[in-house]
A and B are shown apart, each in its own frame.
Chain A
Amino acid sequence: MSNNLNEIAVTRDITKNQEILEDIIRETIDIVYYRFKTYDTREYLVVYFDDIINKEILDRDVIGGLIANAKTKFNNNGNITVEYIKSTIHFSNIDESMEFETVVDRLLAGDVIIFTEGLNVALCLPSQGWQQRGIIEPDAEIITKGPREGFVETLKTNRSMIRRKLKNPDLVFESLNLGKQSKSDINIVYIAGIVNETVLSQLKKRLEKIDIDAIIDSGYIEELIKDERLSPFNTVGYTERPDVVVSKILEGRIAVLCSGTPIVLTVPFLFVENLQANEDYYSGFIIASINRMVRFTSFLLTIFIPGLYVAIATNHHELIPTKLLFSFIASRVGVPFPTIIEVLAMILIFELLRESGLRLPKGLGQTVSIVGALVLGQAAVEAKFLSAPVVIIIALTAITSFIFYKINGALIIARVFITILGAMMGLYGVTLGAIAIFLHLYSIKSFGVPYMSYIASTEYEELKDTVVRGPWWKMKMRPRIINFRNVVRNGNVEDK
């Protein structure tokens, strides 16, 4: 049925129109066909989905307008026109449609459709209205200094948050529908003139290729448009914060908004963005730089600590200071498993704890932490199932991994990989593993932009926003690798 929708035109007979619609849209309780006659005997058919429109606007401004004007301005010359109806309805952006394809799409998206007896044009009134979650600070991206608002599930509200921050005629929202069944609204946001055109056309091409049933969350898109699909590292960024999105599109990136989710995607995404946090730019550059360095250290620690421990404790006893060696031995005496098994088991236990704690109702979460801390932490060491250094090592790994929860998957794989290599070949293995991981990182790209851009740069200008966050008066250029046309971000060039 839906295949040849575009061939069906709106007729002048509203009864026929209703029949066609009833034919296309299956019988469901939430659709309303409201037929009424005004005083001037014109007959209208108003069709809408009851739950996704603003009923108040419909009753007061649309139907009220039609009825009231029929009484006061009696127009009896017989010819009804679209202009006449538009002049009676208190509504701003009325669209006209003559095909049922558009009509059905608009109806499903929450428009009110008005058919008029004698007119082969349907009027589409975008009067969506539904309950939406309030704008709150996103739980996953809490900051101490900076704006508190976060995206919600409604596209319009999300767009408004971006537009409010960028009063710029070049700010462009482009719309497209994805998902064969869901017809989800997707918006692409960028600043014309700053955006990298190659990335933009690449993104559009990849989005158009998507042919999936439904886009329920932007995660679907993320996985479908990502380069290096098998890489555990993320080459598409995401955030719930409008301020982050705005700063990203100001650097020439493109944001992808998706209706029904507060998660907004940004491309291209570079590795260095894992180290950055929006708060870096709101607090002073000194504390921001310290935080950056802490994060960078954490990244190395969370991958390498278990591997280094295993390597040194099993292959390089001479590298351990004598007193530390004795304390290692003291904790290991009586433990039945080899160090590598201990460490892998502890990594597994930590992941179990993390996963079970994540989705538990709040009341049960406490149970998990008690069981985890007491039973696994203390009792396991006392019962000589695990040695204390391993618990410390994994605790340190866990703490540092939370800083990079967005790439947790990649970190787990890298960690286990390094740990096993460390047990097999000692520091030699750790080094080989590190080389392998970095080779991989340096080989992947995000929308044509090398993933590790800036991290290994030897150019002063490019290093200003990596492991340190340079002061604003020094960061005059936008990242050149993403955006190469309009590069000056801070025009106030000071003399040296």
Chain B
Amino acid sequence: MKRLTFTILISIILFTTIFSGCWNYSDVEEQFVVMGIAIDYDEKEKEYMLYAEVSRAKGGAEAETITRLESSKGTTLFEANRNLITRIGAKVYWGHTMVYIISERVAKKGITDVVGILNKLTQVRTDIFIIVCDNDSIDNIFEFEDPIHENVAQYLADLMKNFESSGKYRKAPLFKINQELASDEISLILPCITMEEVEKDDSDKEEGSGKDSVQKDEKPNKIIVTDGSCVFKKGKMVGKLNEEESLDALIVKKEVTKGYSLTVEEDMGVPNSSIEVINSNVKVNSTIDSKDNLILRIEIEIDADLVEIQSEDEYLKTEVREKIEKRFEKMLEEEIGKTIKKNQDEFKCDIFAFAGYVHRQQKEYWKANSNIWEDIYTDVQVSIKADVKIKSSALTFQPLKVGG
């Protein structure tokens, strides 16, 4: 009996991993791998526009790739996909597609169609990243030339993979979006990108180097930058969070828990300073008061390294450290409060999955009120308590000594 169970278990594991997927013979070089796809919608023609970044390896000892950008149209996305054949000469292969970019137009129209087809196409991986792009950049998003990455899709995939260190945008693979779209207890947010001319971005960060201005003369140098998050309600985009608000939302959602940085400006006797979060934990407690009102209490606990402080004081003294901690706590409480308020008032979208906490913690209340959750959510009283603990000071204890 034991042996039989063992055999069955092994067979199930083996068969499900090996026998899933379709099989037909084709040699690797016959594949035109589409690395990235961008989707736009033409309101007048009532047609989808599909921009594809198709890669092929050059023959030879080094794995160099040639990338071709092509676009096609179709009433449905699948038609547009097949119309690509007439432009490229072969059926494109979706098995290695990394990013799927949706224009804001499409996002506002509703993403269920465009995400739905990803689930139906047999070749698509479920970890394909979905990104929203603004309307003006969508048609030339793949024209961005990044000398470090072979193509835009790889750049965007790298961008998504490193989301946690930045914290200002979200990583949204297809499988996660499927879950969130299906769930009643959460509203979807997706990362946004846009294209920006380099000079604008550089002006306040770098002190204008000569080389950049020379390049500017040749052609307008546009780069892809992240642009906060899009908020969706029932599959339709209702608004945008900027980068700081995105960070606040992701902290509360517990999607970023370590590695990201927080910065405060000079205030409360604390100079400009940054901490690197080692670990952050969020607890959401829901209580019902005597008047049958829901109250949410968010407790944020953060352990951090004090990485940068623009001061020459001995900042590891207990009093100083406590002051810094206080400053960060105040900043977090204010900012997160504002972001939650914005969601409650403007979007009426529960992107933080508070519904889930209430569902788990106040079962009876949820049963009675789940159908009017949207109304409750917009009015719910949320209090935030941040607890920042500076555990260490990165590599050195002492500030840099400057002698006479």
The distance in angstroms between the C-alpha atoms of A314 and B96, with both chains bound, is: 15
- Is A315 in contact with B29, judged by CB distance below 8 angstroms? no
A316 to B122: give the CA distance in the assembly, Å: 12
Query: In the complex, what residues of A have CB within 8 A of residue B62's CB?
Result: 330
Q: Is the CB of A318 within 8 A of B95?
A: yes
> Could you tell me if A333 and B23 are in contact, using CB atoms closer than 8 angstroms?
no
Residues B28 and A317 in contact, CB atoms below 8 Å apart: yes
Interface residue? A484 (CB, 8 A): no
Q: Which of A315, A335, A339 contacts B24 (CB 8 A)?
A: A315
Q: Collect the chain A residues with CB atoms within 8 Å of residue B65's CB.
A: 326
Contact between B96 and A332 (Cβ–Cβ < 8 Å)?
no
Q: Are B28 and A332 interface neighbours, CB within 8 A?
A: yes
B57 within 8 A of partner (CB): yes
A431 within 8 A of B: yes
| Contact partner, B18, options A317, A327, A329, A431, Cβ 8 Å | A431
A314-B27, A315-B24, A427-B18 known; A330+B64 contact, CB < 8 A:
yes
Neighbouring A residues of B21 by C-beta, 8 Å: 316, 318
> From residue A327, how far is it (CB to closest CB) to chain B in Å?
4
Distance to closest chain B CB from A57 (angstroms) = 65
The CA-CA distance from A431 to B98 in the complex, in Å, is: 29
Q: Report Cα–Cα, A424/B125, bound state, in Å.
A: 24
Interface residues of B in 211-228 (CB under 8 A from A): none
Residue of B nearest to A458 (CB): B3
| B58 engages A314 (CB within 8 Å) | no
User: Are A325 and B19 neighbours in the complex by a CB distance under 8 Å?
Assistant: no
Interface-central residue, B23, B55, B123, by most chain A CB under 10 Å? B23
Q: Which residue of chain A has its CB nearest to the CB of B2?
A: A458
Decide yes or no whether B137 CB sits under 8 A from chain A: no
Cα–Cα distance between A314 and B125 once the two chains are bound (Å): 18
The answer, yes or no, to whether B60 is at the interface (CB within 8 Å) is yes
Does B93 sit within 8 A of A, measured CB to CB? yes
- The answer to whether A338 touches B125, judged by C-beta atoms less than 8 angstroms apart, is no
Most interface-central of A313, A316, A322 (chain B CB within 10 A): A322
Which residues of the other chain, B, contact A431 by a CB distance below 8 angstroms? Answer: 14, 18-19
Partner of B125, one of A318, A339, A427: A318
B26 within 8 Å of A (CB atoms): yes
Minimum Cβ distance to chain B for residue A324 (Å) = 9
The CA of A424 and the CA of B123, in the complex, are separated in Å by 20
Q: Is B237 an interface residue (CB 8 A)?
A: no
With a CB–CB cut-off of 8 A, which chain B residues contact A423? 25
- Known contacts: A316-B21, A318-B95. The answer to whether A329 contacts B31 by CB under 8 A is yes
**Inter-subunit contact B23/A425 (CB<8 Å):** yes
Bound together, the chains give a CA A426 to CA B61 distance in angstroms of: 27
B3–A314 touching, CB < 8 Å: no
Distance in Å from the Cβ of B368 to the closest Cβ of chain A?
A: 47
Contacts A317-B95, A318-B123, A431-B14 given; indicate if A333 touches B57 (C-beta within 8 A).
yes
Q: Which size class do B's interface residues fall under? A: 20 to 34
Please classify the interface of chain A as helix (H, G, I), strand (E, B), loop, or mixed, using the class held by over half of its residues.
Answer: helix
CB 8 Å contact bits of A312-350 with B (1 = contact, 0 = none): 011111101011011111111111001110000000000
> Is A428 an interface residue, CB under 8 A from the partner?
yes
Task: Tell me which residues across on chain A come within 8 A of B234, comparing CB atoms.
Answer: none
CA distance A33 to B18 in the complex (A): 78
Q: List B contacts of A388 (CB < 8 A).
A: 61
Q: CA separation between A328 and B65, bound complex, in Å? A: 12
Q: Which residues of A contact B55 (CB under 8 A)?
A: 326
A residues near B125, Cβ cutoff 8 Å: 318
Residues of A within 8 A of B60 (CB): 330, 333
Q: Which of A322, A326, A333, A340 contacts B98 (CB 8 A)?
A: A322
Smallest CB gap from B59: residue in A: A333
**Bound Cα distance A316, B20 (Å):** 10
Chain A CB within 8 A of B236 CB: no
Q: Mark B91-107, 1 if CB is under 8 A from A, else 0.
A: 00101101000000000
CB A24 to nearest CB in B, in angstroms, measures 64
Q: Is the CB of B29 within 8 A of A426?
A: no
Contacts A330-B58, A330-B64 given; does A325 touch B25 at CB 8 Å? no
| Cβ of B284 to closest chain A Cβ, rounded Å | 38
Enumerate chain B residues within 8 angstroms of A424, measured Cβ to Cβ. 25
- Interface hub of B24, B59, B125 (most chain A Cβ within 10 A): B59
CB of B33 closer than 8 Å to a CB of A: yes
The answer to whether B31 and A315 touch across the interface, beta carbons within 8 angstroms, is no
Whether A313 contacts B98 by the Cβ 8 Å rule is no
Residues of B within 8 A of A325 (CB): 28, 31, 33, 96
Nearest-CB residue, chain A, relative to B157: A322
Q: Give B151-203 interface residues, CB cut-off 8 Å to A.
A: none
Kindly provide the distance from the CB of B372 to the nearest chain A CB, expressed in whole angstroms.
45
Q: Is B341 an interface residue (CB 8 A)?
A: no
**Which chain B residue lies CB-closest to A323?**
B63
| B56 interfacial contact with A, CB 8 Å | yes
Chain A residues closer than 8 Å to B24, beta-carbon distance: 315
What residues of chain B lie closer than 8 Å to A428, measured between beta carbons?
18-19, 23
Residues from chain A with Cβ under 8 Å of B18 in the complex? 427-428, 430-431
Q: Are A330 and B59 interface neighbours, CB within 8 A? A: yes
In the complex, are the beta carbons of B96 and A316 less than 8 A apart? no
- Interchain CA distance A86-B28 in the complex, whole Å: 86
Residue of A with least CB distance to B62: A330
Please tell me which one of the listed residues B23, B63, B93 contacts residue A316 in the complex, with CB atoms under 8 A apart.
B23
Partner of B27 from the list A313, A318, A322, A384 (CB cut-off 8 Å) is A313
Q: How far is the CA of A325 from the CA of B57 in the complex (A)?
A: 9
Q: Distance (Å) between the CB of B26 and the closest chain A CB?
A: 6
| Closest Cβ neighbor of A319 among chain B residues | B21
Distance, CA A322 to CA B64, complexed state (A): 13
Q: A317-B28, A317-B31 are in contact. Are A330 and B57 (CB under 8 A)?
A: yes
Report Cα–Cα, A253/B395, bound state, in Å: 66
- Encode contact with A along B10-38: 1 for CB under 8 Å, 0 otherwise: 00001000110101111111010100000
Chain B residues within an 8 Å CB radius of A426: 23
Q: Can you report 5 residue pairs joining A to B where beta carbons are below 8 Å apart?
A: A313-B28, A314-B28, A327-B57, A330-B60, A333-B60
- Closest 6 interchain pairs by CB? A333-B59, A318-B95, A426-B23, A330-B57, A329-B57, A327-B63
Not counting A320-B28, A322-B98, a sample of 4 additional A-B residue pairs whose C-beta atoms are within 8 angstroms of each other reads A326-B33, A329-B56, A330-B62, A425-B23
